[in-house]
C-alpha cells in the first residue's frame, strides 16, 4: 500500500469519525430544552413512544458510521469504494428520515453531516489505484 492509499483510508476514517461525533453532539444538544429529561423518563419524546424497535433503529443508525471508520482502513480499495458509497447513501437516508421536521439546530447538524457524507462518497469514488501522493504539497 503506497502513501496515497494510506492517506485516502485515513481521510475516510476521519470523515466517518467526524460524522459520528456530529451524531453525538446533536444528541447531547437535544438534552438542553426544558422538560426533556421528564419526556425521556416517561418514554415518550415529542409525542413519539420510544420502543425497542425505535432503539434498534437508532443503534443501527450510529453503528454504520462507527463500522465504516474501521472498514475504511481495512477493506481493499475496490470494495472500499462501494462500501463507502452504500453506507453514505443509507446513512444519509436515515439522517433525513430522522429530521423530516427539523428545528434550526437539527437542520445545522443535518447539513453538516450530509456534506461530510457527500465528501466521503466523492473521496471513495474518485480514489484511483494509481493515485500518487502530492509530495510538493507537503513542502509548502
Each residue's pLDDT, cut to its tens digit, for the chain (140 residues) gives: 666 667 889 999 999 999 999 999 998 888 888 888 888 889 898 888 999 999 998 898 899 999 999 999 999 988 999 999 999 999 999 999 988 888 898 899 999 999 999 999 999 988 876 554 443 344 44
Domain residue ranges in the chain: 3-127
> What is the chain's Cα-based Rg?
18
Q: Using the Cα atoms of residue 32, residue 35, residue 38 and residue 42 in order, give the sign of their dihedral.
A: negative
Say what the pTM is. 0.82
DSSP type of residue 101? S
- State the cell numbers at 87: 453506507
CA pair distance 81, 125, nearest whole angstrom: 5
CA pair distance 116, 13, nearest whole angstrom: 12
Amino acid at each position: 500500500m503506497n502513501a496515497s492509499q494510506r492517506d485516502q483510508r485515513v481521510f475516510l476514517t476521519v470523515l466517518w469519525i467526524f460524522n459520528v461525533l456530529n451524531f453525538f453532539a446533536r444528541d447531547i444538544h437535544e438534552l438542553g430544552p426544558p422538560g426533556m429529561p421528564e419526556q425521556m423518563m416517561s418514554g415518550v419524546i415529542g409525542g413519539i413512544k420510544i420502543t425497542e424497535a425505535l432503539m434498534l433503529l437508532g443503534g443501527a443508525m450510529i453503528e454504520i458510521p462507527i463500522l465504516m471508520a474501521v472498514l475504511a482502513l481495512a477493506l481493499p480499495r475496490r470494495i472500499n469504494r462501494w462500501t463507502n458509497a452504500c453506507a453514505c447513501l443509507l446513512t444519509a437516508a436515515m439522517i433525513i428520515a430522522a429530521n423530516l421536521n427539523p428545528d434550526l439546530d437539527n437542520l445545522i447538524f443535518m447539513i453538516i453531516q450530509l456534506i461530510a457524507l457527500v465528501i466521503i462518497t466523492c473521496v471513495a469514488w474518485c480514489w484511483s489505484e494509481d493515485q500518487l501522493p502530492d509530495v510538493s504539497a507537503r513542502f509548502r
